[in-house]
Amino acid sequence: MNARIRKRAAAAAALALWAAAGAARATAPLPPPGRQYKADALAQREAWERFLETAEIVKSELIGEGVTNPWKLVLRQGDVEKKAAWKGTTGLQEWRFEIAASRLDKLIGLNMLPPAVEREFNKKQGALILWADSHTSLLKLIEDNVKARKEGRKEEPSPEFEAVIAQGKYATRIWDCLVANEDRTQENILYTDDWRTLLIDHSFAFRSEGEYAKRLVFGRNGIKKTENGDPILIKQAPRALVERIRALDASAVRKAVGPYLNDREIAAVVARSKLLVAEIEEMARQIGESKFYF
């Protein structure tokens, strides 16, 4: 057995074990607040990255939505079969940002993005992103909530459930501030069976021109506002995540993202990281650290 075959066999075995563990997690009770930021299956993404790079493409179809004309691919390696999304570049929507986002997510330990790698498909380079196995989306939750209230069958969520959803919401705002992603929608905020938050679609992130290197997407002086013109604030934050963002510098970001961000884009990430930490510290001061950090 040559080295390449041994590598594929080892990856397939690791992924099979991971898949079995994932099935067990799907029936687990609601995780305590903050669990989605601890090391779990998402932190083992290197095995999935190898799978994405080397698995055979056995089926492909256009997804039919999105300006990047993404494809849904089915990959197979040994006994492991998984779906993945492949994206190219269209206008300002760049596939390289998907890979940069996945690598930066890994660097700061957010663990809310699926693995992504560079891979050729249809004789074009693009990003191949592991399909996010989700239970529902924020959009679906909102639609179900509206329907339930109209039908008079709405049950009030538990405080634990509300805490998990809120923490994911504010962590998402922190992330989108760091990567200058103003294209977040309710459809690309996903939840697993045990209510971990997953974030997809980052081909419009990493803006580096004009105000994107000087202001955050959210916050007291954020680019985005509510319909009434009010700021969209960050009212909670994982303390460990904030410390990792505080430690970012150009060298660390460049080492993590490799060739997928240019010097200006890396400089903009670092500039936003400083603005973000300052914003978080001020909000923690106003709200009180014991209520703000988790």
- Does one domain contain both 103 and 243? no
Give yes or no: residues 274 and 203 share one domain. yes
Q: Report yes or no on 180 lying in a domain.
A: yes
C-beta atoms surrounding 121 within 10 Å: 17
Biggest CA-to-CA distance, the chain = 65
Tell me the two tokens of residue 6. 């041994």
CATH number for the domain that contains residue 93: 3.30.200
In a domain, 228, yes or no: yes
CA dihedral (6, 9, 13, 15) positive or negative: positive
Task: Please name the residue that has the structure tokens 């538990």.
Answer: 158
Of 16-25, 107-116, 225-234, 248-257, the least confident: 16-25
Burial class (CB in 10 A: 0-12, 13-18, 19+), 180: buried
* 223-268 confidence digits (pLDDT tens): 999 999 999 999 999 999 999 999 999 999 999 999 999 999 999 9
Position 17 confidence tier, pLDDT thresholds 50, 70, 90: very low
21 domain residue, yes or no: no
Rg from Cα positions in the chain = 20
Q: Which of 76, 109, 130 is the last residue of a domain?
A: 130
CA distance 209 to 80: 42
Indicate the residue among 130, 164, 189 that finishes a domain: 130
User: Does one domain contain both 61 and 199?
Assistant: no
pLDDT, mean over the chain: 85
Pair 96, 46 in one domain: yes
On whether residue 254 sits in a domain, the answer given is: yes
> 43 and 126 share a domain?
yes
Both 228 and 247 in a single domain?
yes
User: In this structure, are residues 118 and 166 in contact, taking their beta carbons and an 8 Å threshold?
Assistant: no
pTM of the predicted model, to two decimals? 0.84
Structural domain count, the chain: 2
**In the chain, % of residues over pLDDT 70:** 83
Q: DSSP for 165-217, please give it.
A: HHHHHHHHHHHHHHHT-----GGGEEE-TT--EEE---TT----SGGGGTS-S
Contacts of 162 (CB under 8 A, 6+ apart): none
Percent share of the chain, pLDDT over 90: 68
**Domain assignment of residue 183, given as a range:** 136-292
102-128 mean pLDDT: 95
Q: CA-to-CA distance for 30 and 19, rounded, in angstroms?
A: 20
Looking up residue 220, the CATH number of its domain turns out to be 1.10.1070
Both 163 and 271 in one domain: the answer is yes
**Which residues have C-beta within 8 Å of that of residue 280, sequence separation ≥ 6?**
174, 234, 237, 242
* DSSP-derived 3-state class of residue 98: helix
Task: Choose the final residue of a domain: 130, 163, 184.
Answer: 130
